[in-house]
Amino acid sequence: MRGLVSVTLLLLLALALSAEAGRGKAKGHKGKQAKPASECTPAESQYGKCVPEQGDCGDGQREVTCKGQTNKIHCKIPCNWKKDISDCKYKFGPWGPCDAATNTKSRSGSLKKVLFNAECQDTVTVSKPCSPKVKKTRGDKKST
C-alpha cells in the first residue's frame, strides 16, 4: 500500500513538472538563452556590425572577438530611420519645420552613449518625410 502511494505521488510530481515546462513553450515564450562564460570584459571585446538575418533590418547577429575566440551574439537593427546609427545613442532636439522643396523635416542629435565599441559621430542629422495631415489642437472640435 505504501509503495502504491509513493509511486502515485512521484507520478503526480512528474506530471506537474512536465505541465509547467510545457506551459511556457505553449505560449510561445523563449527561455532565456544562457550566455557563454567569458573571461573578457566588454572593453576587451571587439564587436562587429549587426548583420540582419533577412532584409536590411530586424533580428540579426554580430560577431564578438576576444582573446582569439570569436562568438556570435543576438542583435537587432531597427526597421526605421535609426538603422544607420543603431549602435550609437543620441539626444535629439525637436523636429524642424517642413522644407516644402524636399517635403522633409530634420533634427540633429548629440552623442549620448556608444554601444559595442562602435565608431560614432559626435553629432548627426536625421530627416523624415513631412506628415500630410494637419494636427489638431485640443481646442478644435469636429463640426457636425
pTM higher than the cut 0.75: no
Range of the domain at 70: 37-79
pLDDT at 31: 41
Non-local (6+) Cβ contacts of 92 within 8 A are 107, 108, 109, 126
pLDDT at 49: 82
The answer to whether position 44 is within a domain reads: yes
* Biggest alpha carbon–alpha carbon distance for the chain: 89
pLDDT at 127: 86
pLDDT at 81: 57
Same domain, 45 and 61: yes
The answer to whether position 24 is within a domain reads: no
Q: What stretches in the chain show pLDDT beneath 70?
A: 1, 5-7, 9-38, 80-84, 133-137, 139-144
The answer to whether position 28 is within a domain reads: no
Measured distance CA(48)–CA(71) in Å, rounded: 10
Burial 77-114 (b: 16+ CB within 10 A, else e): beeeeeeebbbbebeeeeeeeeeeeeeebeeebeeeee
pLDDT at 33: 40
Report how many domains make up the chain.
2
pLDDT at 111: 93
Measured distance CA(88)–CA(49) in Å, rounded: 12
Same domain, 70 and 93: no
Q: Which three cell numbers stand for residue 133?
A: 495631415
Measured distance CA(124)–CA(91) in Å, rounded: 10
pLDDT at 9: 60
Same domain, 101 and 124: yes
Same domain, 90 and 117: yes
CATH of the domain at 55: 2.20.60.10
pLDDT at 76: 83
